Chains A and B, each alone.
Chain A
Amino acid sequence: MIDQTPIARKAFLSALIIVVLSFGNKLVAQNGKALFQENCARCHNLTKDMVGPKMEGIQDRVPDRELLKAWIKNSTDVIASGNEYFNDLFKRYNNTPMPPFTHFTDADLEALVDYITTPPPAPKVEGGGSAPVEEQDNSILYGILTLILAVVALIMLQVNSSLKKLSDDKEGIPAQEPIPFWRNKSYIALLTVILFIVGGYYVVKGAINMGRHHDYQPEQPIYYSHKVHAGTNQINCLYCHNGAYEGKQANIPSVNVCMNCHISITEYNGEKLYREDGTEVDGTAEIQKIFAAAGYDPQTKQYTGKGKEIEWVRIHNLPDHVYFNHSQHTKVGGVQCQTCHGDINNMHEVRQFSDLSMGWCVNCHRTTGVKFDGKDGNEFYSIYEKYHNEIKAGTRDSVTVSDIGGLDCQKCHY
């Protein structure tokens, strides 16, 4: 009894301490996350090697907590002390030093080490991402219905003729030798007219559509989803196609532009992707194709110098005899990309939205208003106003071609 009280008291105290500590730990661990995000996340990822090594499993690689803390505080000191592991690490990362964090207090370091040695929570398993619902295609249904109706009509005709024959027999009218329908002149005439109309329609339509490639949706060497990039991740069109604002061509980006992001983004974890034929796309494998093209080894994080051009298939193509300039439309005219290219940020695989026919161009040029002044106005047109006013005032008698840019080299030499 005398002995038990202190034991009980001790037990209570230690329990209290454990509770307090564990609460404290929780608070500290959160603090550690904030510290990590603020100071370390620029180079370190919890589960992936980036500028610096990943944090996962660091407690096995550096079991000594104090050493780890010393390393975070000032890495060059640890290297100078000749620690084998850290010297190897330093060499493996091209002798890039980790900047010192001398302003960290001991509590900061504790929290940070706690945070990075706690295994990250298992990534949320995507909910299977049910296959996209097949769009109800009613045309088969209509086709079958039409067929049934046609069969019914035929049967009715047959029944009708049989009944007529029966009643004729009854009334004693001699039955005429029936003419088979393929020799019936009215049938033949009707068929010819129908064939002429239908055939003519398709011939004319086909001839007009020659050289127009709307809906053209070729398979590209890499499954690049515009929806994932421009839609979900909101990358501006001009990030990759900067030429569309600067000049004639919109630019198919070179692989170094892909590598700006994909040197870090090495796997695809978004919603499931499907090709047009319904097969599933392995996004991570497609990203590996960029590395192959760039000659980049994701294991060593080095460029091997053995790249290969990605031969993208060009979709939008104007005939050789048409001059088209992107910047004239985007920069000068203020036309949005989607006006001509359709809802690109919702297309996984790009499809030619417009037929790029002359009628299509002309229709837009007929209806699009020119912004003469105002906020987005085009200063160029003020020159016409100036000439107009000068003629009115009598200071100018005529406007020559050279006055409106007729001597510009590229009027003829383009």
Chain B
Amino acid sequence: MKKLSIIAVWVMAAGLWSCSDVRRKQRATYMPDMFYSRALETYTPIDTLHKQGINYNRMPVPGTVKRGELFPFELGPDKPGEETNYQASKQIKNPLPPLNEAQMKEAERLYLVNCGICHGTALDGNGPLYKGGDGPYPVAPANLIGQEMYQNMPEGQMFYSVTYGKGQMGSYASQLSTTQRWMVIHYIKAQQAAGAKGAAKTQAGSQTTGTGQSGTTIDTTNKQ
């Protein structure tokens, strides 16, 4: 009787202990060779390939361009402390024609995903990471809509900064394709033009007209 109850207590304790809901190990798999690919898939470790004499490094072949993609940016990154290419990038124009409504919506999406976190959804340099100095980000992101420097920044120079990084900002070339980066710049220029006109709120209609005007602002800055 006594023995029984002691055993029962131990069994229950073991049962409870094993019921921890944190599962650090995967469950067993029925026929693992059908579950886990024998062929190389994304995220398959490739460090063994080299030992087998197979040359594969996951990088695109130098000099190749993805189908449907714009040609890569003609300027390389500056050496530390130099600014020649950064200055030269002022002359480069946006190779994309003005965006239509659907494309502008996509550009806005790209901006909000990748840039809005620091530069703010309103482009005011006050995204959730900075929050007027209360966020974790220690330096103020560029205010794209209020400051003359960014208002008048040529598209090519913006593209240079997005591609290679500038100041504390890193390169976004791995997250946004060449086309997407030019689209985002179209969007920023359209927003800046809309902001300068006084129509602060974003509207699809005003965006498309704004794009045409952004072209003219670039022309004037280039002449200056």
Contacts and interface: CB of A to CB of B under 8 A. Distances in A.
Interface string B29-59: 1100011111001110100000000000000
B30 A211 contact: yes
A177 to B, nearest CB: 19
B43 A314 contact: yes
Contact of B30 (A51, A210, A261): A210
B23 A216 contact: yes
Given A319-B35, A320-B37, A50 B139 contact: yes
A319 B19 CA distance: 27
B27 A41 contact: no
A215 B23 contact: yes
Interface in B37-91: 37-38, 41-43, 45, 80-81
Interface in B1-31: 1, 5, 8-9, 12, 16, 19, 21-30
A132 B147 CA distance: 44
B168 interface: yes
Interface string A155-177: 00010000000000000000000
A51 B117 contact: no
B133 interface: yes
Given A236-B113, A254-B174, A314-B43, A210 B28 contact: yes
A35 to B, nearest CB: 12
Interface in B150-189: 167-172, 174-176
B33 to A, nearest CB: 9
A279 interface: no
B135 interface: yes
Contacts of B128: 233-235
Given A94-B80, A233-B136, A261-B129, A217 B27 contact: no
A140 B137 contact: no
Contacts of A218: 24-26
Given A211-B29, A215-B21, A264-B168, A154 B1 contact: yes
Most buried by A among B1, B116, B117, B138: B138
B1 to A, nearest CB: 7
A158 to B, nearest CB: 8
Most buried by A among B26, B28, B38, B133: B26
A145 to B, nearest CB: 12
A185 interface: no
B140 interface: yes
A260 B173 CA distance: 11
Q: State the majority secondary structure of interface residues on A.
A: loop
Nearest to A260: B170
A217 B21 CA distance: 10
Interface stretch (A80-88, A269-277, A380-388): A269-277
Nearest to A51: B167
A45 interface: yes
A51 B129 contact: no
B117 A50 contact: no
A76 interface: no
Interface in A309-365: 311, 314, 317, 319-321, 351
A45 B170 contact: no
B112 interface: yes
A259 interface: yes
Contacts of B133: 37, 41
B114 interface: yes
B26 to A, nearest CB: 5
Interface of B: 1, 5, 8-9, 12, 16, 19, 21-30, 34-38, 41-43, 45, 80-81, 112-114, 116-118, 128-129, 133, 135-142, 167-172, 174-176
Give the 9 A-B CB pairs with smallest separation, nearest first: A95-B81, A41-B140, A260-B170, A320-B37, A94-B80, A210-B30, A234-B128, A211-B29, A45-B138
Given A263-B170, A320-B38, 8 more contacts: A150-B8, A158-B1, A216-B27, A238-B113, A239-B113, A239-B175, A256-B174, A260-B169
